[in-house]
Structure formats: C-alpha cells, structure tokens
C-alpha cells in the first residue's frame, strides 16, 4: 500500500513540474517551471525519472538483446550511429525528455534544485544528503556514457542564468562524485528527518547508508584497470563503511498497472521485432542457469507474445544470432526459420521479466557481492574469500527474481547445484571471467551497468558484431556521442569537451577509466 501511495503521489506531481518549452535551456531547468515545490516531491520525481536503458541500447551492445529489423530502429545491432538511441541517457537525465517525449524536468535539474533549496537546512539534512548520493548516481551514468559532461554548471539556468554550461573533465567529475558520496553517506543521521517520500526505502537511513557505500564500491571498481591503487583505497573505504547486506537493500523502482515499466512498455509495442541475443541465451542455457525460464520464452506468434503463455523449456530456447538483419538472417548457420509474424527465436518472458509491472533495478546486493568477489580476488579486501562472495552474489541474483513475481522462486538446492556445476564453479585461474560473466547476467535489465562493467572488465568474452557498414572500428561501441543539438546550441563548450575527451566525438573514443 505504501508503494502504491508513492506511485500515486508521483503520478500527481510529475505533470505539475512538467513544461512545454522544448528549447535548449532544458539542459539546466526551464525558468517557467515551479521551483519552490516541497523538496521531497522533487526528490520522488528525480527517483522516478532516473534513466533505465532501453533494450536496443546498452543491452544490444553487450549482446543480451537484438532487433534484426532495419529502418527507424536501426542502431547498435547494425553498428550504426543513431541519435534516437545515443541521446536517450542525456535527454532523460538533463531534460526529462526521450525520443520526442513530452518535456519535463530531468533528475539532474530536480536534484540540483533540491540541493540549492536545502543547503544549510539542518532540519532536512537527510533529504539533502540522499539527494547528493542520487545526484552522484546520475552523473556516474552520464560520464560512463559520454565522457566529459556538464556538471558544475548543470541545472543552473534558473539559479544562475547559465544556459550554455561548460563540460567538466570526466576524471575530475569522478573525483568529486567519490567525495560527494563519501561525505553525504557519512552525514546521514537516523535521529534527523526521515524522508517518507523516498520511493526506494521510505527514508530508512541504514539502507541509504548501505546504498551510498555500495555506490562508492562501484565507483571505486571503475578504476580497476586505470588506476588500481586508487581503486583499492576507494573499495576499502566502501567496505569499511558498510555495503548492502541482503536483497532487502536493493535499490529499484516498483511499478503497477497504472504506472508501468517504460522499458517493458516499449518492447511490448512491436514485440515481433525483439529477440534475445544468442550469446546471452547460450550462456544461460549451457550453464544450466535456472533464471532462463524467467528471462526467456518461445511463442507461437512473436507479435502476440506479450499476451501469450510462453514456452520456457530450456532446450527450446535459442537466441537470435548477432550480426544479421532480417534480410540476411536466413543465411545464418543453423537458421531456425520464420515463425508467424517474426522469427523462430526466443523473446523475453513477458509474464515475468517483460511484464508491465516488472521492477527497474539500479544497484543490487548481487552486483555488490560480485564486485566484492573481484576485489577479494585482487587482494584488496579481507573478510570472505572470493569464492564465497561469488556464490553469495549468484544466490542473491537468483533470489532477486521473486521481486518480479513472488512465485519466481529458485530453491537453495538448485542454486547450489548451479554454483557447483563445473561450468560455473569458482576457480582462481578463471576468476575474473566467472565473476564478471555472472555480473553480466545479474545486470540483465540494468543495461547502463552491464555496458560499463563489460568495458571495465573485458568480460564476458564476446565476439564483435561484424555487421558490415559499421560506424565503429574497435569491435565494440565504447561510448555514446553527444546529442546533435549540442553542436549548434553549445558549440564552444562542445568542441572543448570533444578535445578534452582525447578523441573525436564517435563511438570508438573511450571514457577515461576504459583504458
């Protein structure tokens, strides 16, 4: 009931803070928007507005998902630059718009406004510091996607009349994010204000502290191949602070039949064009993963998949091959033929993962345990051994499915059989591959994180998409390009950012930690 009330609150207040001005000043904040709404309502809106990657973006790059049909949806499966998709994160975070959707304030704007409104207000110190933590999450996603981005001047149009903000150096942004998360998490105080409008934890300070330190762990692990000594120091600080301890600490959004999951809504619309990718299905199938039945399904008619009962038998699941269009797919080895209005390959299970009421996860206990497994393998932390963290991460990821559906239970004996299967069993020689492949699976539905960790770790060991006519030269997309509007509306700052990123504004140039 509490979650339903929060959803109703946001459904009421999001239109209030919306705007119909689609000009460039959206990058910061529309001056016509209300700016003195209670900060707790702004915070709720910022949480609900947080970007969740659509299936044709990062999940396609990391070969979990594929749309083989060319046309307006042509993007990463075709190794093509398509601003409809590369701008999604930027637009959602800065302006609250996405692919031409109605304009509103994005999380960056709302969180900057909250911090300005509450700075120095001792009576609302917890809301202030929770906003700092969640703002850091937004900018971590933005830096991981684009490199240099507007940071210090973002959200300052109304506050300081900055309509063309400078882009800050990406490494310096990360340094500030680490400082912000560290300070804000430490400052949370259970004796002070409790933010009931918080849709993640209902204002529970202990859980917000564990979220903050788990985010700090994630930030630290990004440095693992770029600056290992720094990574170790940050990871140790996060562990000392206290990271997530169970799935009860998972940070995610809940949806219902009125306020539906936007990612599920998108793939439901033209279901016959959407399929699971062969590398992802093969990993689940060949490892005997019991999660496959909750993720994958076969349907007699792909177009009617969202309203049909799926065949979830493991042996019947086949992912669509990478690197083919609908025209060339019949030439793929082992082509499985057409099926109704689409192809005879696995789609998402629309009764579980693809449900309109499916949750959207951002930071989880499972991901945290798997990062700890890698940190322990590298000798950066004490406590449990890497194999224990690894097993705990897998169990947490499997238990997480009851959040989608209470009946999606994977018994402990089944979990242990999977963990002890020689295909999956932890070994020192293969540790990084095993840990990060499981991170890839645990991040299914959390595409921005799956993409970032794939670049950071190099695992799973995927083969490049060889679709001809590609806009990339290095095998995989390494970053998203800036929105085209930036070239004209903020040209000077855009050009400076491109130069400081160390390469042209294309999908080959790497972000600073991806070296």
Q: What is the mean pLDDT of the chain?
A: 91
Query: Of 209, 208, 216, which is closest to residue 237 (Cα–Cα)?
Result: 216
User: What percent of the chain has a predicted confidence (pLDDT) above 70?
Assistant: 91
pLDDT at residue 1 greater than cutoff 70: no
pLDDT at residue 8 greater than cutoff 60: no
pLDDT value, residue 24: 36
CA–CA distance, 440 with 447 (Å, rounded to integer): 9
Residue of 269 and 401 predicted with greater confidence: 401
Residue 367 — very low, low, confident or very high, per pLDDT cuts 50/70/90? very high
| Torsion, CA 104, CA 107, CA 109, CA 111, rounded to 10 | 140
pLDDT at residue 32 greater than cutoff 90: no
Side-chain half-sphere exposure of 443, counting CA atoms within 13 A: 30
pTM for this model (two decimals): 0.92
pLDDT at residue 31 greater than cutoff 70: no
pLDDT value, residue 250: 98
| pLDDT tens digits, one per residue of 200-249 | 999 999 999 999 999 999 999 999 999 999 999 999 999 999 999 999 99
Tokens 């109703």 label which residue? 8
In 223-328, which residue ranges form alpha helices assigned H by DSSP? 228-241, 262-269, 278-286, 292-295
pLDDT at residue 280 greater than cutoff 80: yes
Residue 88, token pair as written in the block: 């999604």
User: What percent of the chain has a predicted confidence (pLDDT) above 90?
Assistant: 82
Integer CA distances (angstroms), 85 to 55, 157, 509, in order: 10, 26, 17
Residue 307 — very low, low, confident or very high, per pLDDT cuts 50/70/90? very high
| pLDDT tens digits, one per residue of 417-465 | 999 999 999 999 999 999 999 999 999 999 999 999 999 999 999 999 9
pLDDT value, residue 15: 36
Residue of 93 and 34 predicted with greater confidence: 93
DSSP 122: G
DSSP per-residue codes, 272-299: GG-EEBHHHHHHHHHTT-TTHHHHEEB-
pLDDT at residue 313 greater than cutoff 50: yes
Is 119 within 8 Å of 187 (Cβ atoms)? no
pLDDT value, residue 37: 75
pLDDT value, residue 210: 98
pLDDT at residue 26 greater than cutoff 50: no
Convert 61-119 into a string of H (helix), E (strand) and C (coil). Answer: HCCCEECCCCCCCCCHHHCCCCHHHHCHHHHHHHCCCCCCCCCECCHHHHHHHHHHHHC
pLDDT value, residue 72: 59
């Amino acid at each position: 009931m509490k979650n339903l009330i929060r959803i109703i609150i946001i459904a009421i207040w999001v239109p209030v803070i919306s705007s119909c001005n689609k000009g460039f000043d959206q990058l910061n904040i529309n001056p016509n928007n209300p700016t003195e709404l209670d900060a707790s309502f702004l915070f709720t809106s910022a949480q609900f507005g947080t970007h969740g990657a659509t299936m044709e973006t990062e999940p396609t790059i990391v070969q979990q998902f594929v749309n083989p049909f060319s046309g307006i949806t042509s993007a990463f499966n075709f190794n093509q630059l398509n601003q409809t998709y590369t701008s999604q994160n930027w637009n959602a975070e800065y302006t609250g718009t996405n692919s031409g959707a109605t304009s509103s304030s994005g999380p960056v704007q709302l969180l900057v406004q909250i911090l300005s409104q509450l700075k120095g207000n001792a009576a609302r110190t917890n809301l202030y510091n929770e906003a700092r933590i969640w703002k850091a999450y937004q900018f971590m996603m933005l830096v991981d996607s684009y490199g240099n981005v507007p940071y210090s001047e973002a959200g300052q149009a109304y506050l300081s009349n900055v309509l063309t903000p400078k882009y800050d150096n990406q490494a310096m942004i990360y340094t500030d994010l680490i400082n912000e998360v560290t300070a804000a998490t430490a400052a949370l105080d259970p004796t002070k204000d409790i933010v009931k409008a918080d849709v993640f934890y209902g204002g529970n300070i202990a859980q917000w502290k564990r979220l903050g330190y788990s985010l700090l762990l994630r930030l630290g692990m990004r440095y693992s191949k770029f600056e290992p000594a720094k990574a170790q120091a940050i990871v140790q600080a996060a562990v000392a602070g206290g990271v997530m301890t169970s799935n009860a600490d998972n940070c995610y959004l809940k949806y219902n039949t009125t306020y539906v999951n936007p990612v599920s809504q998108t793939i439901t619309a033209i279901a016959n064009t959407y399929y699971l990718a062969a590398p992802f299905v093969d990993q689940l199938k060949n490892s005997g993963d019991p999660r496959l039945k909750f993720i994958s399904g076969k349907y007699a008619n792909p177009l009617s998949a969202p309203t049909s009962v799926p065949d979830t038998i493991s042996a019947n699941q086949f992912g669509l091959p990478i690197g083919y269009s609908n025209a060339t797919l019949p030439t793929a080895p082992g082509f499985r033929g057409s099926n109704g209005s689409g192809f005879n390959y696995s789609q998402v299970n629309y009764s579980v993962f693809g449900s309109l009421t499916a949750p959207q996860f951002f930071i989880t206990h499972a991901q945290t345990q798997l990062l700890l497994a890698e940190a322990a393998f590298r000798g950066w932390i004490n406590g449990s051994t890497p194999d224990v963290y690894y097993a705990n991460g897998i169990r947490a990821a499997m238990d997480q499915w009851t959040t989608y559906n209470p009946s999606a239970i994977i018994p402990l004996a089944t979990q242990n059989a999977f963990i002890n299967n020689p295909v999956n069993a932890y070994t020192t020689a293969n540790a990084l591959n095993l840990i990060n492949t499981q991170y890839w699976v645990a991040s299914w539905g959390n595409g921005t994180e799956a993409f970032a960790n794939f670049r950071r770790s190099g695992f799973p060991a995927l083969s490049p998409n060889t679709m001809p006519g590609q806009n990339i030269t290095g095998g995989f997309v390494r970053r998203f390009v800036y929105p085209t509007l930036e070239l004209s509306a903020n040209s000077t700052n855009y050009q400076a950012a491109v130069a400081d990123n160390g390469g042209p504004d294309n999908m080959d140039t790497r972000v600073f930690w991806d070296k």
